[in-house]
Amino acid sequence: MDLLVVEDDDAIAEPLVDGLRREGFEPRRVSTGRAALETEPGDLVLLDLGLPDIDGKDVCRELRQRSQVPIIVITARGDEVDRVVLLELGADDYVVKPFGFRELVARIRAVLRRTTGSAAEDPSGAVELAALAIDRRARRVTLEGRELQLTPKEYDLLALLASEPGAVFTREEIMSEVWDEHWYGPTKTLDVHMASLRKKLGDPRWITTIRGVGFRLEEPG
């Protein structure tokens, strides 16, 4: 994925670009709003609102008028920017400085899934990982040719993890995607559903727990 990083602060931009490259993205960095508007936006734009030449809000609005490229706004904690304003500007999501790198990567992946779909899917809506096959249109899962009887939440969990095999999904991201972004209940329910899903998959190695972070789906090795 080609990411355009619009950030004028070298201390933030340089490690951010390096980290995104390690995560498999292809980041390009510009440091002004004018440069952002003069270059190709790529597959997603990370846009800092505090730019030296043009108000970042105006850059966001202009980018949205030109294309449907996903935009994640980066804002300082003191900025008076709420979700409604960002939606009006055309942003798809936002993060507040100082932000955690893992959180940012999770948000990038979530926005890309919502706006461009999963690269793991074929046109028929099917996802395959070794002997595991997910038919998204029919909401059916088969393992070695045998259909698994999953609850709706178990299916949603598996489909989310399978959208990027090998990628780590944070607990917060899973709760937001599978339950609701405004979910305030205990995350223990995630562990209960994950344990049940592992049992139905037959081999706990299908789903790896990353302690303190989240989960990932991968072929048992």
Buried b (16+ CB within 10 A) or exposed e, 186-204: eeeebeebbeebbebbeee
Q: What is the pLDDT of residues 122-151, one digit of tens each?
A: 444 578 888 899 988 788 899 999 999 988
pLDDT of amino acid 106: 82
Q: Give me the phi and psi of 165, to 5 degrees please.
A: -55, 135
Which structural domain, as residue segments, surrounds residue 138? Answer: 126-217
Tell me: do 112 and 159 sit in the same domain: no
SS3 98: coil
Burial of 63 (0-12, 13-18, 19+ CB in 10 A): buried
Under 8 Å between Cβ of 14 and 37? no
Residue 121 belongs to some domain of the structure = no
Tell me: do 9 and 55 sit in the same domain: yes
Tell me: do 105 and 157 sit in the same domain: no
Q: What is the pLDDT of residues 153-193, one digit of tens each?
A: 898 899 989 888 888 888 888 887 887 544 444 567 888 88
Q: What is the pLDDT of residues 79-131, one digit of tens each?
A: 555 566 676 778 888 888 878 888 888 888 878 876 655 434 444 457 888 88
Tell me: do 11 and 56 sit in the same domain: yes
CA 187 to chain CA centroid, nearest Å: 19
Tell me: do 102 and 137 sit in the same domain: no
pTM: 0.57
- 201: domain CATH number? 1.10.10.10
Distance CA 173, CA 213 (A): 10
